[in-house]
Amino acid sequence: MTDPRRARLYEELSRESRRHLAAYVLFNQAVADHLGLHPTDVQCLSLLTAEPGPFTVRQIADMTGLTTGSATRLVDRLERGGYVMRAPDQEDRRRVLVSPVPARIARVTAVWDDLGQAWEELLGEHTDDELEVITRHMRRAHDLSHAQMERLRSRPKPD
Amino acid sequence: MTDPRRARLYEELSRESRRHLAAYVLFNQAVADHLGLHPTDVQCLSLLTAEPGPFTVRQIADMTGLTTGSATRLVDRLERGGYVMRAPDQEDRRRVLVSPVPARIARVTAVWDDLGQAWEELLGEHTDDELEVITRHMRRAHDLSHAQMERLRSRPKPD
DNA sequence: CCCCAATCGCTGCGCGGCGCAGCAATCCCG
DNA sequence: CGGGATTGCTGCGCCGCGCAGCGATTGGGG
């Protein structure tokens, strides 16, 4: 059951995961400082560009974990900065479709691409199989985090 | 050079990484809400428990990316909540050593351990080699993020 | 031995992101 | 056609955060 070697592997992965995530938070903050934005804004742009298609304000709120009110303010900032555009949805006139502005977004992706090369060097040392293993783990970790988060939200708080 | 299959693997890993990181941020926030803390506080506790030994306020500031002033306030909150203890450093009386309070920290780790089981199930489907691949990737990604962050900080801002 | 620069942690101050509650507009369904 | 649900927006207050400055302490150079 508790193979000490496996336990050690788990422990180490846990540790590295925390450090990795902490580093990401710091890195995200550095990018935000560099661009004169807020970490939330950069995070939002990352999500907007990760998947295609315009998003509604509500979708952005759900993705970032803020309320619709704060999401409105977030889109306000991004729109004022020229990073996104608002457009009314003809199908449902209550909705507002938010689309990234490629020309402006390029300033952000330029920072990412700058590291992209270093990233590719890092990934280049992996075989196809290894990359798939990592990717699969990411996806499953994402699904698990998501499920646990929802479970956590629908549970009575201690205190 | 640009093997389309490799390019697709990179693309997919990039996408999953973003989603994974976004999910972590949301999950971290959910944990914070659940405990009545702030995401920063939870993040700090995660780092405090990831590595042993007391930390100075400055170390905490560096780890979390905030200023020493904000780190002081952070430690204030954690101390008021009973999660950490302050202790003067005899060797250097300017410093203050911050140590986690295990009994109180247990409330946080309890939340994590609750998912720990699901995590082990997830990890259990991997072979030892695969786990090492993932761990190694995490570590190298951490190192790269850290290096890129420092490079980003010591560079002139656009605008 | 003393003096001065550097470091550490703490504290007012103001900014601004955020949640909350309420709003009008719009859609959906009976 | 009417009532409830949904969407996005807006005051309001809270509070985390960076900034600048403070005293205390340390280490090093003259």
Q: Mean of the pLDDT values across residues A23-50?
A: 91
Please list the alpha-helical segments (H only) found in chain A.
Answer: 4-35, 39-50, 57-64, 68-80, 102-124, 128-153
Pairwise CA distance, residues A45 & A64, whole Å? 10
Q: Does B157 touch chain A if contact means CB atoms closer than 8 Å? A: yes
What CATH number has the domain bearing residue A116?
1.10.10.10
The string of pLDDT tens digits covering residues B44-97 is: 999 998 888 899 999 999 999 999 999 999 999 999 999 999 999 999 999 999
Q: What pLDDT does residue A156 have?
A: 56
Task: Look at residue B27 and tell me if it is in a domain.
Answer: yes
Find residue A96's DSSP bridge partners. Answer: A88
- Three-state DSSP class for A127? coil
Expressed as residue numbers, the domain containing A51 is 4-125
Task: Look at residue B131 and tell me if it is in a domain.
Answer: no
Task: Look at residue A112 and tell me if it is in a domain.
Answer: yes
Asked whether the predicted pLDDT for residue A92 surpasses 70, the reply is yes
Task: Look at residue B153 and tell me if it is in a domain.
Answer: no
Task: Look at residue A137 and tell me if it is in a domain.
Answer: no
Task: Look at residue B55 and tell me if it is in a domain.
Answer: yes
**Which chain A residue is nearest to residue B118, measuring alpha carbons?**
A144
Task: Look at residue A19 and tell me if it is in a domain.
Answer: yes
- Three-state DSSP class for B54? coil
Cα angle A65, A68, A73 (rounded to 5 degrees) comes to 100
Task: Look at residue B152 and tell me if it is in a domain.
Answer: no
The string of pLDDT tens digits covering residues B28-39 is: 999 998 888 999
Count: domains in chain B: 1
Pairwise CA distance, residues A10 & A16, whole Å? 10
B128 Cβ contact list (under 8 Å, min separation 6): A5, A6, A9
| This model's pTM is above 0.85 | yes
- Three-state DSSP class for A89? coil
Closest in B5, B122, B135 to A144, CB measured: B122
One DSSP character per residue, B71-117 reads HHHHHHHHHHTTSEEEEE-SS-TT-EEEEE-HHHHHHHHHHHHHHHH
Residue pair A58/A49 in contact by the 8 Å Cβ criterion:
no
Closest in B27, B46, B122 to A140, CB measured: B122
Interface of A with B in 72-111 (CB under 8 A): 107, 111
Q: CA B129 → C1' D1, Å?
A: 67
